[in-house]
Amino acid sequence: MVPYSFTPTSHFIFTLGLSLSLFIGLVIIGFGRHGLHFFSLLLPAGTPLGLAPFLVLLELISYVFKVISLGVRLAANMLAGHCLLKILAGFVWTWNVPILVGSGIFFLFYSKLTPFKYLKHSFELILGRHSKQDDVGDVTHFQALTTALSGTIGLGNIAGVAIAIQLAGPGAIFWMWLTAIVGIATKFFTCTLSVMYRDVAEDGTVRGGPMYVIKNALPQSMMPLAYFFAAAGLIGALPGFQSNQLVQIMGDLPMFQFDNFNLIAGIVLAGVTGAIILGGLIRIAKVSEWLVPSMSLLYFGSVLIALILNFDSIIPAFKIIIEDAFTGSAVAGGSVIAVIIMGVRRGAHSNEAGIGTETLVHGSAKTSDPVKQGLVAMLGPIFDTLIMCTSTALLIIISGVWLASDSTGVTLTAEAFSALLGPLGYAVLFICVVSFGASTIFTYSFYGSACSQFLFGEKGVKIYQWVIILFVIVFAVIPIEAAINVIDISFALMAIPTLISSVWLAPKVIEKARDYFAALEKIPSNS
């Protein structure tokens, strides 16, 4: 079975059919080989004649009952496996919430909020200022940021927000904000380290990420953490959520409602994915460089129009978010803890701060100083969570569809767009979802390829890219719950080595940042 996915063998009627088919086949083969002597299996050797009728009856019942018992055992085992993995997915995020938030708070205060003072400088960096032609790296500051954002600003902010509101209520958005605020500091530290301790190959290509930070900066005894991150990254980078949601929104259109559409759409999407990802990071970065900004402006502009048309409802929507964050009234049982966990969980997917995935691309940036890329990277949570997620949340809450609809994911967001902007709104969302979803798949393929390269070398990269292409099809046809869970548990596990190494080496970042900011202050403002 595919981990976390639905399997038919968890239904007893299915497993009974399997066991019955095997039973009938064995009986036919038995009669074919042994004739009537086949019945001798019902009478053990040496049985007294007087007991024979009773034993034959008991053995017959036992033999026939194996059909039912085997069916029950298989179904129970498969169902228990699904339940165990579901429980495990929830468990890892229960203890991962305080780790992510706690680490972010540590970075926030340990840095004394210094990086926040240089937000203006961060924007100057992505515009190409303070850069040199001979800087070491594969992609520009802007390309690194847009590529990282293509993995977060898309479906995580469109479908992920809808899932959070539907499962945990509007209050989850507040905790997504908190995750983003502390995530700004987290990204500064993790991405600075990714550049500080990256590997430079003989051909000039660079490789960064938590595994290289652990390899090059921590004691040799900590290397298992590097392999742990890379192994979890192989699964976490699978395009489950993106492929599933892309096919879902396309399937909602009347023109696409025909038999086997999910499979056909998955195959087409897999073809497009292959054409992009087989070209490597450079091709992915070039696509993201123009796709992410243009689609972000289109999406945010559409949401802004809807909010202007419903201006009186904006303040009440914010009140709903804040009140529900501390009451959990929208969740069955009124569990505030459930709201917090869901908010942080979806926030982690929204900005990926502390997970370590974004460091893989930021570590490849062309830069003369690691602190520069840390400053660029910390803009990510501002764009994808504080701006884009908030926009989506306000749209859904104001429309009221989250109260009246049983839909989830991107379909719920589509209903909100349609309610406030009509057919035009749905058309805009469709274009954005398709674009964002595709770009996210491209970026995630690079994340997984980087992990594969670390574990298996260059040969492993090509193999993994074909695995990505295959799983685009697989996730297009399985339920949304499966697509969410298979990624969630891997993301939670990836955060462990990322945050351990980042907290360990935080003094190195502060030392590097102190030198950089001191030198920056000496530069004339007009230079």
SS3 82: helix
CA distance linking residue 504 with residue 222, whole number of Å: 11
- DSSP characters for 120-162? HHHHHHHTTTT--TT-BSSB-HHHHHHHHHHTTSSHHHHHHHH
Angle at 354 between CA 384 and CA 210, to 5 degrees: 120
HEC sequence for 226-287: HHHHHHHHHHHCCCHHHHHHHHHHHHCCHHHCCCCHHHHHHHHHHHHHHHHHCCHHHHHHHH
pLDDT at position 207 is: 85
Task: Let me know: does 420 contact 399? Beta carbons within 8 Å.
Answer: yes
What is each CA distance from 5 to 71, 79, 479, 514, in whole angstroms?
A: 20, 11, 7, 48
Sequence letter at residue 371:
V
CA distance linking residue 391 with residue 325, whole number of Å: 17
pLDDT at position 3 is: 41
Burial class of 68 by CB neighbour count within 10 A (0 to 12, 13 to 18, 19+): middle
Burial class of 18 by CB neighbour count within 10 A (0 to 12, 13 to 18, 19+): middle
pLDDT at position 505 is: 93
Backbone phi and psi for residue 156, each to the nearest 5 degrees, phi listed first: -60, -30
CA distance linking residue 494 with residue 197, whole number of Å: 18
pLDDT at position 4 is: 39
In the chain, the domains with their CATH numbers are 111-519 (1.20.1740.10)
CA distance linking residue 219 with residue 520, whole number of Å: 33
Cβ–Cβ contacts within 10 Å for residue 440, how many? 26
HEC sequence for 476-500: HHCCHHHHHHHHHHHHHHHHHHHHH
pTM of the predicted model as reported, rounded to 2 decimal places = 0.75
Torsion 247-234-509-200 (CA) sign: negative
Q: Tokens 């008991």 — which residue?
A: 58
Angle at 91 between CA 183 and CA 227, to 5 degrees: 65
Q: How would you write the pLDDT of the chain (527 residues) with one tens digit per residue?
A: 444 345 555 555 666 667 777 777 777 887 778 777 767 766 666 667 666 676 767 777 777 777 777 767 776 666 666 666 566 555 565 666 778 788 888 998 888 888 788 888 888 888 877 677 667 767 788 878 877 777 777 666 777 788 888 877 888 889 888 888 888 999 999 999 998 998 877 766 788 889 999 999 999 999 999 999 998 888 887 776 677 767 776 776 666 676 777 788 778 878 877 777 776 666 666 766 677 778 788 888 888 898 898 889 899 999 998 888 887 665 544 577 778 877 777 777 677 778 888 888 888 888 888 888 889 888 888 888 888 888 888 989 998 888 877 776 777 888 888 888 888 887 887 788 777 777 777 788 888 888 888 888 888 888 888 888 887 887 777 665 655 666 777 777 888 899 999 999 999 999 999 988 888 877 665 44
Non-local (6+) Cβ contacts of 520 within 8 A are 118, 121
Non-local (6+) Cβ contacts of 439 within 8 A are 150, 151, 154, 287, 288, 291, 292, 295
pLDDT at position 490 is: 78
pLDDT at position 218 is: 92
DSSP state of 368: S
